[in-house]
Amino acid sequence: MSTPMGFGRMHRKEDARFIRGRGGYVDDVNLPGMLYGAILRSPHAHARIVSIDTSAALAHPKVKAVITGETLAGLNLAWMPTLSADTQAVLATDKVRFQGQEVAFVVAEDRYSARDALELIDVEYDALDAVIDARKSLDPDAPIIRDDHEGRADNKIFDWEAGDKATTDAVFAQAEVTVTQDMLYPRVHPAPLETCGAVADFDKVTGKLTVWCPTQAPHAHRTLYALVAGLPEHKIRVISPDIGGGFGNKVGIYPGYVCAIVGSIVTGKPVKWMEDRSENLMSTSFARDYHMRGEVAATRDGKIQAIRVKVLADHGAFNGTAQPTKFPAGFFHVFTGSYDLRAAHCEVTGVYTNKAPGGVAYACSFRITEAVYLVERMIDVLAMELGADPAELRMKNLLRSEQFPYTSPTGWEYDSGDYQKTLQLAMDMAGYDALRREQAEKRDRGELMGIGIAFFTEAVGAGPRKHMDILGLGMADGAELRVHPTGKAVLRVSCQSQGQGHETTFAQIVASELGISPDDVDVVHGDTDQTPFGLGTYGSRSTPVSGAAAAMVSRKVRERARQVAAAMLEASPEDLEWAVNESGGAWTVAGTGAGKTIQEIALAAHSSLELPEGIEGHLDATCVYNPPNLTYPFGAYICVVDVDPGTGQVKVRRFIAVDDCGVRINPMIVEGQVHGGLADGVGMALMQLMAFDEDGNHLGASFMDYLLPTAMECPSWELGETVTPSPHHPIGAKGVGESATVGSPPAVVNAVLDALRPFGVRHADMPLTPAGVWRAMQGNPIRT
What residues make contact with ligand CDP under the rule CB under 6 A?
A: 500-502, 505, 537, 540-543, 547, 661-666, 669-670, 673, 733-737
Residue 122 neighbours by CB under 8 Å, 6+ apart = 51, 52, 53, 56
Which of these, 228, 225, 235, lies nearest to 202 by C-alpha position? Answer: 235
Q: Smallest distance from the beta carbon of 242 to ligand CDP, in angstroms?
A: 15
- Min. distance of Cβ 543 from ligand CDP in angstroms? 3
Shortest gap between Cβ of 508 and ligand CDP (angstroms)?
8
- Minimal distance, residue 165 CB to ligand CDP, in Å: 34
How big is the chain, counted in residues? 784
Nearest to ligand CDP of 500, 597 (CB atom): 500
CB nearer ligand CDP, residue 54 or residue 500? 500
Rounded to whole angstroms, the Cα distance separating 665 from 414 reads 21
**Measured from the CB atom, is 219 or 394 closer to ligand CDP?**
219
Of 336, 665, 280, nearest in space to 511 by CA:
665
**CB 653 to ligand CDP: min, Å:** 28
- For ligand CDP, which is the closer residue by CB, 193 or 590? 193
301/519 with CB nearer ligand CDP: 519
| Nearest Cα to Cα of residue 552 among 626, 462, 497 | 626
User: Is the CB of 548 or the CB of 777 nearer to ligand CDP?
Assistant: 548
- Rounded to a whole number of angstroms, the minimum distance from the CB of residue 688 to ligand CDP is 20
What are the angstrom distances between the C-alpha of 521 and each of 428, 479, 517, 554?
A: 40, 14, 7, 11
145, 155 Cβ separation under 8 angstroms: yes
End-to-end Cα distance, the chain:
47
How is residue 326 annotated by DSSP? T
Closest CA to 619 of 452, 425, 484: 484
Q: How far is CA 484 from CA 10, 533, 546, 581, in A?
A: 24, 23, 22, 21
Nearer to ligand CDP, 464 or 770 (CB): 464
- Shortest Å, Cβ 107 to ligand CDP: 34
Closest distance of CB 611 from ligand CDP, Å:
34
Around Cβ 230, how many Cβ atoms within 10 Å? 10
Closer CB to ligand CDP, 376 or 659, in the complex: 659
CA-based nearest residue to 768, from 437, 452, 348: 452
Q: Is 471 left (phi over 0), alpha (psi -120 to 50) or beta?
A: left
The nearest distance, CB 666 to ligand CDP, in angstroms, is 4
Nearer residue to ligand CDP within complex by CB, 106 or 736: 736
HEC string of 223-278?
A: HHHHHHHCCCHHHEEEECCCCCCCCCCCCCCCHHHHHHHHHHHHHCCCEEEECCHH
Q: Closer to ligand CDP by CB, 14 or 754: give it.
A: 14
Angle between helices 255-267 and 218-229 (to 10 degrees): 60
Nearest to ligand CDP of 316, 735 (CB atom): 735
The Cβ of residue 155 has, within 10 Å, a number of other Cβ atoms equal to 23
Please say whether the beta carbons of 344 and 295 come within 8 A: no
Residue nearest ligand CDP, Cβ-based = 737
Tell me if 565 sits within 8 A of 578, measured CB to CB. Answer: no
* Chain center to CA of 329: 15
Q: Of the two residues 14 and 86, which places its CB atom closer to ligand CDP in the complex?
A: 14
C-beta of 633: minimal distance to ligand CDP in Å? 8
H runs (alpha helix) in 570-711: 598-605, 667-686
> Which DSSP state fits 544?
I
